[in-house]
Amino acid sequence: MIEAVVFDLDGILIDSEHVWDEVRQQLAEERGGRWTETASRDMMGMSSLEWSRYMHEVLGVPMAPEEISALVVERLGERYRRDLPLLPGAVQTVRTLAVRWPLGLASSSNRPVIDLVVEVTGLAPCFRATVSSEEVGRGKPAPDVYLEAARRLDVEPAECAAVEDSTNGIRSAKSAGMLVIVVPRPDFPPTDDSLDLADVELPSLTELPVTLDR
């Protein structure tokens, strides 16, 4: 029986993967690094500590990882304050589910980004727990961020439904022992083998309330 629902952020509530890519690619190129064809997929799901180190070591950005992370977050925040790329039905779905279940957020985004999004959308009161992967030992696909979300919600992981869209996110939630509901993004689709791990696949987030009520 489901006792709580834990959402991913990027790709589930906000259409943000392309914004992260644009900001990180611009920074890499303007600071003398490089951008590769695999950079976007490689960094998807990584914690801020992991992707900033990747940009420094693999993409050759000649800045300390903590400086890379801080500057990316600053620029991303500026973009979000101007135009937050909410996905259709995201706000209403969260508000609908919050009436019945405790909600958590388990995201690879940095803490300032999470706080900004829930503030701008007015969804902060809907989430009893929000966790950034920079607050745990390992980013997705490790289960750490989902396990911490369950701990803060005071619910067993096996009693949580996780709502995900990405390969690493699916693997993370599955490794945590949660029921995995995937809403794939057509522009950043999860791999077939990760989709096989999901318990439920939905074409739209708006179908989530009905699905959980079954």
The gap from C-alpha 85 to its chain's centroid, in whole angstroms, comes to 14
Q: What is the CATH number of domain 17-82?
A: 1.10.150.240
pLDDT tens digits along 161-210: 999 999 999 999 999 999 999 999 988 899 999 999 999 999 999 999 99
* Fold designation for 4-15+85-213: Rossmann fold (3.40.50)
Strands 160-164 and 127-132: unpaired
* Catalytic-labelled residue, pool 8, 15, 144, 165: 8
Provide CATH 1.10.150.240 ranges for the chain. Answer: 17-82
Q: What are phi and psi of 19, to 5 degrees?
A: -70, -45
pLDDT tens digits along 74-116: 999 999 999 999 999 999 999 999 999 999 999 999 999 999 9
Give the predicted TM-score (pTM) of the model. Answer: 0.90
Task: Return the SS3 of 162.
Answer: strand
pLDDT tens digits along 2-50: 999 999 999 999 999 889 999 999 999 999 999 999 999 899 878 888 9
Count of CB atoms within 10 A of residue 162's CB? 31
Catalytic residue status for 213: no
Catalytic residue status for 187: no
Provide CATH 3.40.50.1000 ranges for the chain. Answer: 4-15+85-213
